[in-house]
Amino acid sequence: MSVVRVYNGDMKLPKEPFLALAAIGWADGSLQRIEAVGLLRAATESGVSGDELAEIERATKAKVTLEGLELGGMSTWDQVVTYALAAWFAQLDGVVSTSEHTTMVELGDKLGLADALRKRAAAAAFDIACLPEGGRPERYDFQKLAARLKERLPQVAAPE
């Protein structure tokens, strides 16, 4: 993992979680424009740039899957943030298809997250999406998501 995550009010993640989000988007057979915009904005705001951002952008144009994607070595905090982002991302187009739900379960398993953590992470993502215009990818507040997760899950929050 090439981007080091440090929580100091910012949400920093490596490229791999965003490739996993692309797999969520592709699960229903197509990645919508709104999903691509949201994915690239989330990656950029998380500090991904250069070749890694270009790799994520390619994943918005050609189908990717979770198979073969290495998500090991992530802290519990990074796993929870990744799952929360995936929950937000899966519902961006207004519906979570059966295949997206199945891929979300696969992602949670691959991350090794307990069901309770998955539910709380998804609930935090939904809370932020419900803020005024929060359902739009260009308006979703990723820093508020990190703060909400820290508030709801202090036992896994990265130290400040």
pLDDT digit string, tens, across residues 73-104: 888 888 998 999 889 888 877 778 898 899 99
CA separation, residue 92 to residues 40, 49, 84, 107, 114 (Å): 13, 23, 13, 17, 24
Q: Which domain holds residue 50?
A: 16-68+75-152
Look at residue 96 and tell me if it is in a domain: yes
Q: Which tokens is 40 given?
A: 């690239």
Any domain includes 1: no
In whole angstroms, what is the distance from residue 40 CA to residue 57 CA?
7
**What pTM, to 2 d.p., does this model score?**
0.83
Domain count, the chain: 1
Specify if 4 maps to a domain. no
Lowest mean pLDDT among 3-7, 86-90, 109-113, 150-154: 3-7
Secondary structure of residue 73 in the 3-state scheme = coil
Contact 78, 146 (CB under 8 A): no
> For residue 26, is it within any domain?
yes
Q: Within a domain: residue 141? A: yes
